[in-house]
């Protein structure tokens, strides 16, 4: 059974920082986490879910323009965990943040999602 569990969300004042974690478990990830593309998405009330950051198997990263220079995605393959360090937070960053795992297609055609963690930034 595959499970992605996010943590680290909360309430923070504008300008503050939070570090989100996404721990992946299950037999699917036991041997392939290191070659699984990991992404963070967010969804604000009344808006579509949007991609925030992604990290590939080799550690390459990509960010939405709105978070470049403030957010950093990283991964610890030994712990099957991906992180999102969020600095200089703004009220418009308020959203539910979701972790997404995209294993190699030769392994499975399924994507996996966490349950989400709420981030609220007060002005």
The span from the CA of 81 to the CA of 98, in Å, is 13
Indicate whether 1 pLDDT > 80.
no
**C-alpha distances in Å from residue 42, one per residue of 26, 45, 98, 100:** 24, 10, 6, 10
pLDDT tens track for 11-34: 999 999 999 999 999 887 888 999
The span from the CA of 29 to the CA of 36, in Å, is 8
Determine the pLDDT at residue 31.
Answer: 85
Q: Which DSSP letter does residue 91 get?
A: G
The span from the CA of 101 to the CA of 42, in Å, is 14
The span from the CA of 49 to the CA of 91, in Å, is 17
Determine the pLDDT at residue 91.
Answer: 97
**Quick one: average pLDDT of 65-72?**
98
The span from the CA of 87 to the CA of 18, in Å, is 7
């Amino acid at each position: 059974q595959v499970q992605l569990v996010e943590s680290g969300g909360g309430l923070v004042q504008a300008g503050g920082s939070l570090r989100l974690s996404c721990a992946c478990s299950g037999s699917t990830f036991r041997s392939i986490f290191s070659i699984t593309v990991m992404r963070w998405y967010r969804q604000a009330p009344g808006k579509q879910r949007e991609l925030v950051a992604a990290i590939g198997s080799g550690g390459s990263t990509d960010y939405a323009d709105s978070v470049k220079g403030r957010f950093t995605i990283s991964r610890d393959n030994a712990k099957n965990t991906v992180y999102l360090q969020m600095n200089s937070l703004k009220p418009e960053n308020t959203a539910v943040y979701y972790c997404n795992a995209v294993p190699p297609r030769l392994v499975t055609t399924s994507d996996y999602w966490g349950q989400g963690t709420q981030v609220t930034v007060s002005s």
